[in-house]
Amino acid sequence: MPLTYWLEHAWLGSAVEPGVAVEISGDGRIAALRTGVDAPPPGAEVLRGLTLPGLANAHSHAFHRALRSEVQVGSGTFWTWREVMYGVAQNLTPDSYFALARAVYAEMALAGITNVGEFHYVHHAPGGTPYADPNAMGEALIEAAAAAGIRITLLDTAYLSSGFGEAPNEHQRRFSDGTAEAWAERVSALKPREHALIGAAIHSVRAVPAGQLAAVADWAAQRHAPLHVHLSEQTAENDACRAAHGCTPTELLAEHGVLGARTTGVHNTHLTDGDIALLGGSATGTCMCPTTERDLADGIGPAGRLQQAGSPLSLGSDSHAVIDLLEEARAMELNERLRSRTRGHWTANALLAAATADGHAALGRPDAGRLEPGALADFTTVALDSVRTAGPPPRLGAETAVFAASAADVRHTVVGGRHVVRDGHHTLVADVPSALAEAIAALRP
C-alpha cells in the first residue's frame, strides 16, 4: 500500500486548496494527488497548516554558517568580511566540515529546505596539498546532506586565481587545482547518487582566467549539468574586469560560452543594460541572495528587469546570516519596493515559484518543486496558527507564508516521502542547536 499524506491546505502553484490527499510511490515520488478530500483517509499522515513544495536553497557556502554574528561586530566592507571568512576556511578538515555541514543542512531542513546548491571551493588541505582522496571535502558535504536528510547539488567550483591571472594568495591555495583541466579531472571522479547531483561552478571572473572559462563551461555542457557563477557582486570586480579585458564580467562570460539555460549567475547585482539583455536573451538564471546582499552591503540587484528580460529567478541563503527562504522571497520584493517606492512587483505565487520550482530547476532538479503526480515527494508544511501567521483566511496562505511567516513556522519537512522534520523536530539529528554549536566551536582557534 502506498503511503498517503493528507494536507489540510496545499499551495498548488497558483492557489491554495483545502483537503489534498497525496499518495507516495515506492520510489519517493508523488503517485497521485486528489483535491477536495474533506477528511484524512484512513491511515493517512496528517499535515496541518499550509503545505508547499520543498524549498530550494540555490546558493550555499555551508562553512559560512560559522561566521554568523562574528562578522556583525563593528563595520567594514565585503573585502574585510572576506578576510574573516578565510580564517574559518583555513581550519576546515573533511571531518570538521562533515560535522558542520550536517548541522547546517539539518538547520535547512528545519527551515523547509529539501534541496541545497552547495557552491563548494574548499577542496584541498591548507597550503594546497590534495588529500589522499582529492574529493574528500566534497564527499564530506555529500554525506552531510544524506545525514541531514536533504538533497544536494554539489556545485564543485573552479577557483584558480586571486584576481585576473594573479596567483592564489596563501588563503586561496587550498581552493585551487592550478588549471581548469586539473579541476575537471578531479571533479570527474565525483559520482551522483540518489540524493546528490554533481554540477559545476566558476567562482567568478576574477578567480578563473578568461582563457580557462570555456573548459569549465564545456565540462558542464558535456554532462548537461548545472553551472553557477558569482557575477557582478561587487563594483570592484566590474572595474577590474574592464581594466583587464575591456568589458563587463557578463560580456566576458558571454564571449567564452558560459551563458545559457543551464547557467545561473549568483547575485547579478551591478549590471548594465547590455548585461541584462545578454543574461535574459540567453535564458541564464539569476539567483538572488537578499539577506547576504544586504548583510554585506552589496547592493540591490535588478531582479525584476532580469526576469522581464528572460532570466529565471531563484533564491539562496549564501553566507547564512539567516537560513530562511521565506525571508529571502520576502526580501526580494521589499528591496524592490524600497528602490522603486512602489509595491507589488511579484505576487506571492511568483515569489514561492522562485523559492520552489525555479530553484530546483537551477539545481538540475526540474522534477522537484511542484505538488503534482510524477514529481519528487518533497514538501514542507508551514503553520497557520502561530503568532505570526494566525488570523488570515487559509485562501491567503501564499501571502501569509511569504509576507508573515518565517523558518520558525515550519512544522514538517518531507523528502522523498520520508518525514525529515516532524512537528518542528528533526528526525535524524536529535539536537540541531547543539550540533551547530559544537561544530562551530571546533573551528575556533
> Can you tell me whether residue 424 is helix, strand or coil?
coil
The one-character DSSP state at 61 is -
Identify the residue whose cell numbers are 530546483: 360
Q: What is the pLDDT of residue 1?
A: 47
As to burial, measured by CB atoms within 10 angstroms (0-12 exposed, 13-18 middle, 19+ buried), residue 63 is buried
Establish how many alpha carbons lie within 13 A of residue 407's alpha carbon, considering only the half-sphere containing its beta carbon.
Answer: 21
38 is catalytic: no
pLDDT at 52 over 80: yes
Give residue 378's Cα distance to chain centre: 16
Map residue 35 onto helix, strand or coil: coil
Share of the chain above pLDDT 90, in %: 93
Residue 324 designated active-site: no
Alpha-carbon gap, residue 77 to 235, rounded angstroms: 12
Band the pLDDT of 2: cuts 50, 70, 90. low
CA 73/CA 69 separation, integer angstroms: 7
Q: Give the CA distances from residue 292 to residues 31, 190, 382, 438, in Å, rounded to whole numbers and listed in that order.
A: 38, 29, 24, 24
| From 9, 120, 267, 345, active-site residue | 267
Over residues 248-258, the mean pLDDT reads: 98
Give the pLDDT confidence score for residue 8 in this predicted structure: 98
CA distance 326 to 405: 7
Integer Cα distance of 444 and 84 in angstroms: 12
- Do the Cβ atoms of 47 and 6 come closer than 8 Å? yes
Instruction: Note the pTM of the prediction, 2 decimals.
Output: 0.97
Residue 130, pLDDT above cutoff 60: yes
Range 387-409 average pLDDT: 98
Q: Which of 177, 298, 318, 358 is catalytic?
A: 318
> What local confidence, expressed as pLDDT, does residue 445 receive?
72
- Give the CA distances from residue 379 to residues 106, 320, 420, in Å, rounded to whole numbers and listed in that order: 15, 22, 10
* Average of per-residue pLDDT across 237-259: 97
Partners of 413 in beta bridges:
380, 421
